[in-house]
A and B are shown apart, each in its own frame.
Chain A
């Protein structure tokens, strides 16, 4: 595969493992074992069984009729919102918890932004009876309260991250600090295709089920497994990578990644990484990063906690730089409007993250008859407060 990681852990200019020595043994252990473990037949069997019976996969590929009429193209929604716990995040946590068990780990830590990854991690920890600590920015704890309650009910300890912008980046810092201080018994379940190699590759592999199913479902529904466009929102980029994975090498399929413009790309309150960022190192990999000329990370902003991150995964940086993917952005308001539209046209309340991907449909021009797949990465239950306030409902 042309866009896959090389043996040194790089995607073109991006990737690597920029970690302090304290994390080296853990990350190296993972690097040496992850493919062996994942490729093992027993692992595959257990993973797919859990995806089917516990997560509820395959998730439907739904031809959204009223959307299609509105936009003049066949708009398919890949319904990751119907997964257990309400988002794509669980695909990855099911994979990583099985892997952590194989590595003999007893304690699980994770960062979370929207709380979806935190919930998905707390869920699999309850399922497998492992201790679970979730780091979450103080700002996010406030704006995603239902998910905090769910994590607590699932038995996880939720630790507030109070540094920096008190959002996803800072929660990730705290999780890395925890891992440094607990190097032997702990596995860090990173929630997106970010972090030091092999995380971006490992998370992409677990999320690739999204495009694997999409191909089969398209073939059944349209007679061809090849769509014209696939769209997904990008925080760190895991649902997008899952959606792109099996289409990456087919250059006829256009990949559209939607970042959060916040209050506008030039407003100073934005999370549009490829537009505002430069090459740099954060959280263990070399990628594209919002930063000052001095190399200090700039605090991002998005109404959507899951997209409120100043970087993107290294593989996305590579798709962007090579031009294989088209990276665009959607503002807070555009996403909320799209969320309401989806609710009223299709009866589906999307997560605000996913609503960013939906919003980009408005900006596309179709000849008619194109097949377009949008990754509906999660459901909007966690965002009701934000929707209600914004629309004065």
Chain B
């Protein structure tokens, strides 16, 4: 079947999940209940009001969900037995353990999670000295069709809920030592903005994980209406996938260029008042001999002139059938120097987890997701 024949609305109508009651990975209950994990405090307040429970129960539930490591409503022991019974009739905690973990020779791990609708997503955990960065997915597959990306080749198979996004952090071995979160896994976060913002709300609120928004970076190809909303509604860092400053090249690499040209994305960013804390970066995958010329340096300097930001150069890991060349290491270093000389703060991002296909642009669950 062509994946574009897939009816996206089916995803949204399917609001109940198969709730795992006791043994999370294997013992799937027949009961279909709504997960509480991933609900914001205001959503929990609505639920307790609907169940005619005391208002303060919402905060208690949030605390159990996000501050303690419980896996079932029964473990919420400061709620009365009656309250737990009422909650359990319709709801469950709804956590989901990874179904597979791969470990790279450099320590990077790739986790495979099943979604509520029987599809699969990948999450990368990248250790680096004191830092533990987790790269989360925001969609199953992606609609954007970037030429250099394995996820793009998978097509779009569904949106993730905020619970499924945070589950990728909560259910990994390194959960307690995570220092940074990047929304750079499968999917385009700005194409699922409601759920992404909800997940950030839970991660950064006092009643949630109380993380600093400065430790969270959301990466996007630049969907302007969502970018505008994101800048207003969150304080997290933003990374824009640039990859070439030339319109006629970018439209061949990234079809989004036709709808939201990079000039306009940058103009939008210019018009926004970034405070000193929030970081703005541009992601730039270096394709050997294609986007690493002196003309690119010059044009980048023009495009980003006066924009306080940082350019992250990323090595290209060729994917099957790609017409693009792998990064030329010598030229990469020169390119970085030339950009720095133009006053553009530029660094090279280390490639991690390449042997387990966890590196940038390599995440995909095509085979298993389409079979599901």
Q: Do A and B bind each other?
A: no
